Amino acid sequence: MVSKIYEGENIQELVEKAKSELGDNIKIVQYEIFKEKKWLFLGKRKYRILVEVKEEKKPQINFEELLKKVENIIEEKVKEAVPPINSHLPSKKLNIPPHIEEKLPVNVEISSEFTGEAVELINRLIKKGVYQDVAEGIVKEACGLDLDTNKWDLNAVTLKEALINGIENKILFTGSFNELEKIPKIIAFFGPTGVGKTTNLFKIASQFVLDKKKKVSVISIDTFKVGAIHQGRIYANILNIPFLINL
């Protein structure tokens, strides 16, 4: 914050002088009228003003919004560059995992140790492609024992809440990235295509670069997704960090 005091006989001239020296973005925070005595009982009326320069707030970068805009641009570019699949191409039956049928059943045979909404949640997970034993294991972590039936049932208000509790209890989370030591660390992101690995990777990288002033490099070892390398390079350029490709 820059502040300065001006004195003179004309208030308008003082304001103009302050603007010429400090710019138009000024604010008068104190105003005073006084008499400067030179002779006995005589004196001129003068003005004293305290002027401050208003600080311009720098706009904060919404990195998540910026990533979304870049993603949309990349998707449009990929659509323009990649021609649509022609209908005359030979059709090939996809290798569907054995636990997922092309026509999913309305219900599956759930273990008899579950009852109520626990059965419903397990069925929903199986229909989404989750293996039955995995679905039952997750749901069991969100259950309590129903004393009337002596079976496992959900102890949460909603299915969503129960699923969150089950995943949190079933999957081991090692802690926040903020707990990392000072020595160099390698953080690996892996998973199916399209689940958000690249986006979340660069969100975390932006926290280290912008908030914690850490040195970060990104290495891509998977070039399966169309446009993924181009997308990663754009994000890295935004953060001004190295982006390497292991082909």
CATH, residue 219: 3.40.50.300
Same domain flag for 75 and 184: yes
Position 88 in a domain: no
The domain tally of the chain equals 3
- Out of 68-77, 114-123, 148-157, 204-213, pick the least confident: 68-77
Average pLDDT of span 196-217: 86
Same domain flag for 159 and 129: yes
Q: What is the pLDDT of residue 166?
A: 92
- Are the CB atoms for 22 and 2 separated by under 8 Å? yes
- Residue 138 amino acid letter: I
Position 190 in a domain: yes
Same domain flag for 121 and 234: no
Q: What is the pLDDT of residue 242?
A: 92
Q: Which residue has the higher pLDDT, 152 or 224?
A: 152
Q: What is the pLDDT of residue 140?
A: 92
pLDDT, tens digit, 9 for 90 and up, residues 29-51: 776 777 776 665 666 778 788 88
Q: Is 87 helix (H, G, I), strand (E, B) or coil?
A: coil
CB atoms within 10 A of CB 180: 14
Same domain flag for 186 and 136: no
**Residue 10, both tokens:** 């004309």
**Residue 14, both tokens:** 């003082």
- Is residue 140 packed enough to be buried (19+ CB in 10 Å), middle (13-18) or exposed (0-12)? middle
What is the span of the domain harbouring residue 236? Answer: 63-79+176-245
Same domain flag for 67 and 46: no
Pairing of β 243-245 and β 218-220: parallel
Angle between helices 117-127 and 159-170 (to 10 degrees): 70
pLDDT, tens digit, 9 for 90 and up, residues 81-116: 655 555 445 555 555 555 555 444 555 677 788 988
